[in-house]
């Protein structure tokens, strides 16, 4: 728990990445980050992908400070400030209600934060979701505040509210102007569907052309398809997706996941000027998945794409060995000694020539840089080991905190 040798209290927590199967795209309120439609995601396991955040508070600190991935950044970012303000407001309320007044914490004391990801930025995964979820969870533990925190994480980054829970999570868009009802809720825990597997196919390490925040703003301003989607399509799809998950119906879950990803990218094309997130490799992966499913006459594998060209594949445990072999066949690895598949291991099998002949695509060497294999996982966690704090008792970044965390994690994720 919190540590208060000398005067500093230090807390470290971790939070997960999530991948939406019903996409969030578009805000009705930019400042409060209120969406135009509800969305639903799967929380990924933190053994493979997580953010680690340490928060320290002390009367000796002169100002609030933050280090992200080893580099000090400005603390005055409005979204960061929103999260600080809201957590401190809850702490003040808790103190004035006198429910569990904190003996140690003076709310005027300054806070130092350090945060690192255990996955390479090159993976192109939205790190803001895990990052803001981890910040809010860690600050809440530091100040000893509990309860509904997803509405605070939402004010850091919309998708961050879904990373406040494990398993299958919906973000209910809410109706109020203040956003108190725009919150995340767990639909089912990570244990609900133990066979579900997720592969992240990293196809490009380039920075995305249009960031999500700016991209969705232009879409809201210009795309009639997005408006139609938000008002007429997503409400039904949310119900349908919750049913697929509760019945563990992979074929329906996979089909709806692919359709929703395609519709999100259609709204990007309907944006003016249009936004292109999928590249040629993304499109080849889409074709491959459809050909593979056609071979079996069953939806065994599903893709989804966010605001970038990397694919996320959902499938079931018993399909994974074969599908990864299919990927290796059509995207022969050029990985220079690095493992092609990192993360959760599975047995390797040899491939039947019938499948590759039936798919009939030209192989594209190096098209996929590497794959991260994972499964659904739990929500944010408190780290009960002071050795893992990223900040020392002096409130400064430990010399090893960035590099050692990154290298030990990459060892752990290799197979
Ligand atoms: C999602 N994405 O539902 C969708 C699908 C990208 C495509 O949430 O402006 O980084 O911080 O609220 O949360 C990306 O949007 O945007 C996103 P902000 P965020 O996962």
Average pLDDT of every residue of the chain: 91
Residue 219 domain-assigned? no
Residue 410 predicted with pLDDT over 50: no
| Residues 181-187, mean pLDDT to the nearest whole number | 98
pLDDT of amino acid 14: 98
Question: Ligand 1: which residue has its CA nearest to atom 15?
Answer: 212
Atom 12 in ligand 1: which residue has the minimum CA distance? 158
Least confidently predicted of 74-83, 200-209, 221-230, 377-386: 200-209
Question: Does 201 reside within a domain?
Answer: no
φ/ψ of 59, rounded to 5, equals: -70, -15
Tracing tokens 């966010």 back to the chain, one arrives at 306
Residue 318 CA to ligand 1 center (angstroms) comes to: 31
- Give the CATH number, domain containing residue 173: 3.30.230.10
Q: 190: CA distance to ligand 1 center in Å?
A: 22
How buried is 143 (Cβ within 10 angstroms: 0-12 exposed, 13-18 middle, 19+ buried)? buried
Asked if the model's pLDDT at residue 336 lies above 90, the reply is: no
Q: What is the mean pLDDT of residues 143-154?
A: 96
pLDDT of residue 101: 55
The Cα–Cα gap between 117 and 114 comes to: 11
Q: How many domains does the chain have?
A: 1
Under 8 Å between Cβ of 331 and 363: yes
Report the range of poorest mean pLDDT among 9-18, 207-216, 362-371.
207-216
Say if 318 falls within a structural domain: no
163 lines ligand 1 (CB under 6 A): no
> pLDDT at position 28, please?
98
Residue 54 near residue 60, CB atoms below 8 Å: no
287 within some domain = no
In three-state form (DSSP H/G/I as H, E/B as E, the rest C), the secondary structure along 85-126 is: HHHHHHHHHHHHHCCCCCCCCCCCCEEEEEEEECCCHHHCCC
Structural domain harbouring 29: 1-190+379-415
- 87 within a domain of the structure (yes/no): yes
Residue bearing the bigger pLDDT, 408 or 210: 210
Ligand 1, atom 4, residue with closest C-alpha: 24
Q: What are phi and psi of 252, to 5 degrees?
A: -75, -40
Token reading at 26: 């578009």
Rg (the chain; Cα; Å): 22
* pLDDT value, residue 100: 59
How many angstroms is it from 245 CA to the middle of ligand 1?
A: 22
Residue nearest to ligand 1 atom 14, measured at CA? 212
User: Mean pLDDT over residues 90-99, rounded?
Assistant: 83
Q: Look at residue 179 and tell me whether its pLDDT is greater than 90.
A: yes
Q: Is 319 left (phi over 0), alpha (psi -120 to 50) or beta?
A: alpha
Residue 343 lies in a domain: no
Whether 52 is covered by a domain: the verdict is yes
pLDDT attached to residue 102: 57
Atom nearest to 156 CA in ligand 1: 11
Q: Best of 158, 210, 234 to mutate for ligand 1, by most ligand atoms within 8 A of CB?
A: 158
Say whether pLDDT at 366 is over 80.
yes
User: Mean pLDDT over residues 121-146, rounded?
Assistant: 88
- Full DSSP string of 259-312: HHHHHHHHHHHHSSS------HHHHHHHHHHHHHHHHHTS--EEEEE-SSS-EE
Strand partners, 342: 372, 414
Look at residue 335 in the predicted model and tell me its pLDDT. 73
Residue 338 lies in a domain: no
Query: For ligand 1, is residue 159 a contact (CB within 6 Å)?
Result: yes
What would the pLDDT profile of 279-289 be if each residue is shown by its tens digit?
Answer: 999 999 999 99
| Residues 189-237 pLDDT 10s | 999 999 999 999 999 656 657 999 999 999 999 999 999 999 999 999 9
* More confident call, 199 vs 335: 199
Using 50, 70 and 90 to split pLDDT, how confident is the model at 413? very low
Q: Whose CA is nearest to atom 11 of ligand 1?
A: 157
pTM confidence score: 0.94
> Mean pLDDT throughout 53-78?
96
């Amino acid at each position: 728990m919190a540590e208060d040798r000398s005067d500093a209290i230090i807390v470290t927590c971790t939070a997960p990445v999530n991948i939406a199967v019903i996409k969030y795209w578009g805000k009705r309120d930019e400042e409060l980050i209120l969406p135009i439609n509800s969305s639903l995601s799967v929380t990924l396991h933190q053994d493979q992908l997580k953010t680690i955040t340490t928060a320290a508070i002390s009367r000796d600190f002169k100002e609030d400070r933050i280090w992200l991935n080893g580099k000090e950044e400005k603390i005055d970012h409005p979204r960061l400030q929103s999260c600080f303000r809201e957590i401190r407001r809850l702490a003040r309320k808790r103190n004035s209600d006198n429910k569990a007044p904190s003996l140690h914490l003076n709310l005027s004391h300054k806070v130092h934060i350090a945060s690192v990801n255990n996955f390479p930025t090159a993976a192109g995964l939205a790190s803001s979701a895990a990052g803001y979820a981890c910040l809010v969870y860690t600050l809440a533990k530091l100040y000893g505040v509990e309860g509904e925190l997803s509405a605070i994480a939402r004010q850091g980054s919309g998708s961050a509210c879904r990373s406040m829970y494990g398993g299958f999570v919906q973000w209910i868009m809410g109706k109020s102007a203040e956003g108190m009802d725009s919150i995340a809720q767990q639909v089912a825990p990570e244990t609900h569907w133990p066979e579900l597997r997720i592969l992240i196919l990293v196809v490009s390490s380039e920075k995305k052309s249009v960031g999500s925040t700016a991209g969705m703003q232009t879409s809201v301003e210009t795309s009639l398809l997005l408006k139609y989607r938000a008002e007429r399509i997503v409400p039904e799809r949310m119900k349908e997706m919750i049913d697929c998950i509760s019945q563990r119906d992979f074929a329906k879950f996979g089909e709806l996941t692919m359709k929703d990803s395609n519709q999100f990218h259609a709204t990007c094309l309907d944006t003016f000027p249009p936004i292109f997130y999928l590249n040629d490799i993304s499109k080849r992966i889409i074709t491959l998945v459809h050909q593979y499913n056609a071979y079996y006459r069953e939806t065994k594998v599903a893709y989804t794409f966010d605001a970038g060209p990397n694919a996320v594949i959902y499938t079931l445990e018993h399909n994974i060995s074969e599908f990864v072999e299919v990927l290796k066949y059509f995207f022969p690895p050029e990985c220079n000694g690095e493992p092609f598949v990192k993360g959760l291991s599975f047995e390797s099998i040899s491939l039947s020539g019938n499948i590759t002949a039936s798919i009939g695509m030209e192989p594209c060497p190096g098209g996929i840089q590497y794959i991260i294999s994972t499964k659904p996982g739990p929500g944010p966690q408190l780290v009960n080991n002071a050795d893992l704090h990223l900040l020392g008792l002096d409130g400064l970044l430990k010399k090893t905190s960035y590099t050692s965390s990154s290298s030990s994690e990459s060892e752990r994720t290799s197979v």
